[in-house]
Amino acid sequence: MQLLRAVADRLIGLSASIGILGLFAVVGVYGSQDLVTMGMVLVVFGGMALCDRRGGHIAVDLLEHRFPPRFNRAIDFAAALLGAVIFVLIAWAVYESSKISQMLNLSTNLLRLPKAWFQWALCGFALLTAAGMALRAAEIALRPGVSGARR
């Protein structure tokens, strides 16, 4: 499990680094709607796995102190698993859309960049996020001291 976590952390770091490069590209160009729009795909989805790994998602814990620790762990497990399913579904939907983009040779308005490339990048980032969430769910289930998010 530790080797799997180490590999996942490296991939998450790579994903975040690509997101940072996208952010530099977005900040570095003014007025290029195509680069800004497609760069935001890299920024948002590139950093999503890191956000999940560090527990950066919004969590409302108004009732957490009223529940027993086992129930809170079950909620954390279910949330991680549901998040993984959602990101797999996002990847699948975008992949299906990318097939249409490729078939119709769709591209951005100004620079004529192929849309499918960015859709594939989004799929990869979404699948990496899903894998990270599934790994977090497994860690919650298998190790008693692991909570849902790093606090």
150 band by pLDDT with thresholds 50, 70 and 90:
very low
Query: Measured between alpha carbons, how far is residue 133 from residues 9, 51, 136 in Å?
Result: 12, 11, 5
- Does any domain span residue 149? no
DSSP 14-74: HHHHHHHHHHHHHHH-SS-HHHHHHHHHHHHHHTHHHHHHTT-S----SSGGGS-HHHHHH
- Does any domain span residue 114? yes
Structurally, the chain folds into a number of domains equal to 1
Residue 151 predicted with pLDDT over 80? no
Question: CA-CA distance, 80 to 125, in Å (whole number)?
Answer: 16
Question: CA-CA distance, 31 to 133, in Å (whole number)?
Answer: 36
Averaged pLDDT of the chain: 89
Note down the domain range covering 20.
Answer: 2-142
User: 137 versus 28: which is more confidently predicted?
Assistant: 137
- Does any domain span residue 25? yes
- Does any domain span residue 131? yes
pLDDT value at position 74?
93
pLDDT value at position 31?
62
Lowest mean pLDDT among 41-45, 57-61, 83-87: 57-61
User: 73 versus 145: which is more confidently predicted?
Assistant: 73
User: 144 versus 101: which is more confidently predicted?
Assistant: 101
- Does any domain span residue 148? no
